[in-house]
Chains A and B, each alone.
Chain A
C-alpha cells in the first residue's frame, strides 16, 4: 500500500504543478460565478438559481476536468516513457494503475471542493446556507466524476488520449440518458429493444448521480427540498464505486499484458 500511495501522491503533485488544470479550474469558477451574477440580475428567486446553476456548472466542469485528468495522466507516463523507470521498480503493474487512479481521485476531490466552496460562499452571501441537500448533491457529483475518470483511465490503457476522451465523453452522454434510452427500448421491439437493454447494462447509469427532477421513491427529487434519502445515497455510492472498480480492474488486466516499447 505504501507504494500505491507513493504513486498516488506523485500523481497528485503532478496535477498540482500542472498549469492547465489551474486554468481550467479558474475558468470554471469564473464561468459559474458570472452565470450566477447574470441569473441574480434577471430573476427574483436568486437562491434557487444559485443552487441550480451552481450544481450544473460543477457537474459540467467536473466531468470535463475528470476526462482531461483521466485521459492524460496515465497516457503521459507511456508517452513520456516514465514507465520505463517506474515499472522495473519493485511494484506490481496493477499497483501502478491503482496509484495513478487514486492520485486522480485526490486531484478531482480538491477541484470539486474548490468549486463547492465558491458555491457555498455565494449562497452564504445571499443569506442562504450550504445545507445537507447541497452536500449530498456534491457527493453524488463526485461519484459521477469517479465513474467518468475510471472510464477514461480504462480507455487510455489501450488507446490515444483523443480517442479515450471521445469515448469517455460518449459514455458520459449516453450514461446520463440511460433512463430515457431504457424507456425508448421498451417502446420499440425486437432487435432494437435487446440492443438498448444491452447498451444500458454496459454503460453506467449516470443519471443516478444527477437526480434533480427525477422520481425517487414516491416523490420528485429536488435540491430545494429534501433531495434524496440516506438509502438512496448509500446505494448510489455503492453502485458508483462498484462500477468504477470493475472498470479499473479491466484497465489493470489490459495494462498487465502490455508491452512497453
Chain B
C-alpha cells in the first residue's frame, strides 16, 4: 500500500472555511509487515485512511493498494478495513452481519458459514452470536468490526484504532491477533496512539503531526540507540551512600534510594563506590529512548 503525497482540505460552513486535515502524507507499506500509523488526536490519521480506502477523494496526491489505484474493485477485494467508528447494522446479529459481508466479498455460501463461525470464535463472541448488534457493548462491537474486516481473507488488513474501547485482556488479544495475521503472511496497517502496543507489535511506523509525516521507518532505526540514563537502586550501607557523580539525582524508592545517572556517567565506577561504602545494589536499569520520548520530541518540533 502506498500513500503518495496525500493531502485533503475540507471546506466548512457557509464561508467555505478551509480545514487542512491532511497536508502531506506519504509512505509505503511493504508486504508482510505490521505498520503502525501514529499521531496525536486530530493529526489526520483517519482522514488518511479514508483516502486509502476510497471513502474520501484526496485534494492532492495518490493512493495505491497493491499497485492498483483506489478505489478499484481489484484492490478492495484484497483488503479488509475496520473503520474508526464501529457502527454496523444494529438490527442484525453478528452471524447475519458477517454473512452479508461475506456475500459482498463474493464468498460462496458454504465457505461463508464456515468462515463466519470461525471468525466469531476467533474474536471471542461465541456467547453473543445470535444477538442483535444493538445490544452490544462498545468493545463487543469493536470485535465484530475486526471479524468483518477479516471476512474476505484479505492480504492487507487496515485497522483504524483497533484497541480503543477494549479492556486490557481484549487489547492483548488484538495484539496477538495482529501478530498471528502477520504470521499468516498478511500485511497489517493500523493507526493508534497507544505507544506500548506499537512497540510490542510493529515492524515499522510512520508518525503524523498536524497532517504532515514527520518520520517513517523501522522502530529500531527511529529510536536512537544511545543510552539516555541509568537508574541504580541502592539500600544504603553502614557508611550511607557513595558521593553522587556530577548531574546525578536521587529520590526515595520503594525500598532504599533510586539514583539517576545521566548519559555519559561511568556507571561501573559508581557501582564500585557504592559497594565500597557497604551499600546493597538492588537493581540497575538502563533507559534507552522510548517511542514515547520520540513521539513527544517530534510533537514538540511539529
A260, B50: Cβ atoms closer than 8 Å: yes
- Give the B interface residue count (CB, 8 A): 33
- Give the A interface residue count (CB, 8 A): 26
Q: A259 in the interface, Cβ–Cβ < 8 Å?
A: yes
Q: Which of B50, B54, B55, B79 has the most CB of A within 10 A?
A: B55
Q: A6 in the interface, Cβ–Cβ < 8 Å?
A: yes
A88, B73: Cβ atoms closer than 8 Å: no
- Tell which of A89-97, A179-187, A207-215, A223-231 binds the partner: A89-97
Q: B76 in the interface, Cβ–Cβ < 8 Å?
A: yes
Choose among B55, B84, B101 the residue that contacts A260 (Cβ–Cβ < 8 A): B55
Distance between A223 CB and nearest chain B CB, rounded to angstroms: 39
Chain A residues with CB under 8 Å of B53's CB are 87-88
A90, B85: Cβ atoms closer than 8 Å: no
**B55 — nearest CB in chain A belongs to which residue?**
A260
User: If the complex has contacts A3-B103, A6-B104, A10-B100, are A88 and B89 also in contact, measured as CB distance less than 8 A?
Assistant: no
B54, A87: Cβ atoms closer than 8 Å: yes
Chain A residues with CB under 8 Å of B88's CB are 82, 85
Distance between A73 CB and nearest chain B CB, rounded to angstroms: 11
B101, A87: Cβ atoms closer than 8 Å: no
Cα–Cα distance between A88 and B55 once the two chains are bound (Å): 7
User: If the complex has contacts A85-B88, A90-B76, are A2 and B152 also in contact, measured as CB distance less than 8 A?
Assistant: no
Q: A22 in the interface, Cβ–Cβ < 8 Å?
A: no
Secondary structure at the B interface, as helix, strand, loop or mixed, is loop
Q: A218 in the interface, Cβ–Cβ < 8 Å?
A: no
A87, B55: Cβ atoms closer than 8 Å: yes
User: If the complex has contacts A6-B100, A82-B87, A259-B57, are A89 and B10 also in contact, measured as CB distance less than 8 A?
Assistant: no
Chain A residues with CB under 8 Å of B26's CB are none
Cα–Cα distance between A89 and B10 once the two chains are bound (Å): 25
Q: A86 in the interface, Cβ–Cβ < 8 Å?
A: yes
Chain B residues with CB under 8 Å of A131's CB are none
Cα–Cα distance between A198 and B199 once the two chains are bound (Å): 65
A13, B83: Cβ atoms closer than 8 Å: no
Choose among A17, A83, A88 the residue that contacts B76 (Cβ–Cβ < 8 A): A88
Q: B81 in the interface, Cβ–Cβ < 8 Å?
A: yes
Q: A234 in the interface, Cβ–Cβ < 8 Å?
A: no
**B56 — nearest CB in chain A belongs to which residue?**
A259
Which B residues contact A (CB, under 8 angstroms)? 10, 47, 50, 53-57, 71, 73, 76-77, 79, 81, 83-85, 87-92, 96, 100-101, 103-106, 145, 148, 152
21 contacts between A and B (CB under 8 A): A2-B106, A10-B92, A10-B100, A82-B89, A83-B55, A84-B83, A84-B87, A85-B81, A85-B148, A87-B53, A87-B54, A87-B55, A88-B76, A88-B79, A89-B152, A91-B76, A257-B57, A259-B55, A259-B57, A260-B56, A261-B10
